[in-house]
Chain A
Amino acid sequence: SQQGEEDPQALSIQEGENATMNCSYKTSINNLQWYRQNSGRGLVHLILIRSNEREKHTGRLRVTLDTSKKSSSLLITASRAADTASYFCATVPSGTYKYIFGTGTRLKVLA
């Protein structure tokens, strides 16, 4: 299977704290993306980082990519209760149009 792994599988933090989740993948990639899924809904794209980039920011999100280790991390700063959701990384293996998703991290932010 090409599927990536994410850790932790679940994370519970207090509002205002930072949340970090990690993604590991198996193949060389074009880019890596992070998605968010609220309970019972479809996934929503958060951020994309290309294989030649090492770090990217948008709003309270910071993503890093280490292609030598085939890993990425997503940092959510100053978390809010509304950030409670599942977060997935997705990679696009080089030379393909396939988006391969990780197993996800369930984040719960306590008010």
Chain B
Amino acid sequence: DAGITQSPRHKVTETGTPVTLRCHQTENHRYMYWYRQDPGHGLRLIHYSYGVKDTDKGEVSDGYSVSRSKTEDFLLTLESATSSQTSVYFCAITPSGGAGTGELFFGEGSRLTVL
């Protein structure tokens, strides 16, 4: 158990509404990542963080923003959800000395449906 909790695990929302997904870790790891998983595309990196208030864009960052005000929490926000953002979202972490060199530990995913 890597000590990662994602919330909510399931959410249904309507187009145009804001949505925030939370990733909480108990490991005090520095690096945190948000991915989305869609059929035929595997996992695609949305944003990642390399410390409190330090974040960077991934491959598919348009329409998403992130915040990290505490080491343990990494928030992913859809300011105005669209149907194309219907997906399963995964959070992942890696130890401070392991970024780029170690393994990722994944949460159980958050399934988001935008109607």
Interface residues of A (CB under 8 A from B): 1-3, 6, 30-31, 33, 35, 40-45, 48, 88, 90, 92, 96-104
- Interchain Cβ contacts under 8 Å between A and B, 8 examples: A3-B59, A31-B101, A40-B109, A92-B100, A97-B31, A97-B48, A97-B100, A99-B92
- The A/B interface has a contact count, at CB < 8 Å, of 65
Q: Is the pair B58, A103 in contact by a Cβ cutoff of 8 Å? A: no
| Complex partner residue of A98 from B40, B45, B90, B106, CB under 8 angstroms | B45
Of A96, A99, A103, the most chain B CB neighbours within 10 A belong to A99
* Chain A to chain B: the 6 pairs with minimum beta-carbon distance, closest first: A42-B106, A45-B103, A101-B43, A103-B42, A97-B99, A92-B100
6 extra A-B contacts, CB within 8 A, seeds A42-B108, A88-B43, A98-B48 = A43-B104, A48-B103, A88-B42, A97-B31, A101-B43, A101-B45
Query: What is the CB-to-nearest-CB distance from B94 to chain A, in angstroms, rounded to a whole number?
Result: 8
Question: Which A residues are in CB contact (< 8 Å) with B44?
Answer: 3, 101
B50 sits at the interface (CB 8 A): yes
> Considering only CB atoms and an 8 Å cut-off, how many residues of chain B contact the other chain?
26
Q: Is the pair A42, B45 in contact by a Cβ cutoff of 8 Å? A: no
Contacts of B59-115 to chain A: CB distance below 8 A = 59, 90, 92, 99-109
Question: Which A residues are in CB contact (< 8 Å) with B103?
Answer: 33, 45, 48
Query: What is the CB-to-nearest-CB distance from B103 to chain A, in angstroms, rounded to a whole number?
Result: 4
Q: Is the pair A45, B42 in contact by a Cβ cutoff of 8 Å? A: no
Q: Is the pair B43, A30 in contact by a Cβ cutoff of 8 Å? A: no
Kindly state the separation between the CA atoms of A96 and B59 in the bound complex, as whole angstroms: 13
Q: Is the pair A1, B59 in contact by a Cβ cutoff of 8 Å? A: yes
Question: Which A residues are in CB contact (< 8 Å) with B90?
Answer: 42-43
| Complex partner residue of B42 from A33, A44, A96, A101, CB under 8 angstroms | A101
Q: Is the pair B42, A92 in contact by a Cβ cutoff of 8 Å? A: no
Q: Which B residue sits closest to A45, measured CB to CB?
A: B103
Q: Which A residue sits closest to B108, measured CB to CB?
A: A42
Of A1, A3, A97, the most chain B CB neighbours within 10 A belong to A97
